[in-house]
Amino acid sequence: MWVRAVIGIVLCAVGTVWILQGTKVIQGSGMSGQGNWAVIGAVVVVVGLACFAWAARHHRKGTTESS
């Protein structure tokens, strides 16, 4: 379950970097200024948040059942 949380955090971080590169906030790569990377980054962030929420919900259910 902690693996899902870590994957969610990593996806959010990578997606954020892609959004920043796609919107020219971070420059210096072929992705800089390419709007499609901002969209892809936003999708990756949403997937990361969903993965993190899934892990948190699973963790919460596990702790309430064991009480």
Q: What is the pTM of this model?
A: 0.80
Model confidence at 65: pLDDT above 80: no
Quick one: three-class SS letters along the chain? CHHHHHHHHHHHHHHHHHHHHHCCCCCCCCCCCCHHHHHHHHHHHHHHHHHHHHHHHHHHHHHHHHC
Which domain, by its residues, includes 15? 2-66
Residue 64: its pLDDT value, please?
46
Please state the domain count of the chain.
1
Kindly indicate the confidence band of residue 62, based on its pLDDT and cuts at 50, 70 and 90: low
pLDDT, averaged across the chain = 87
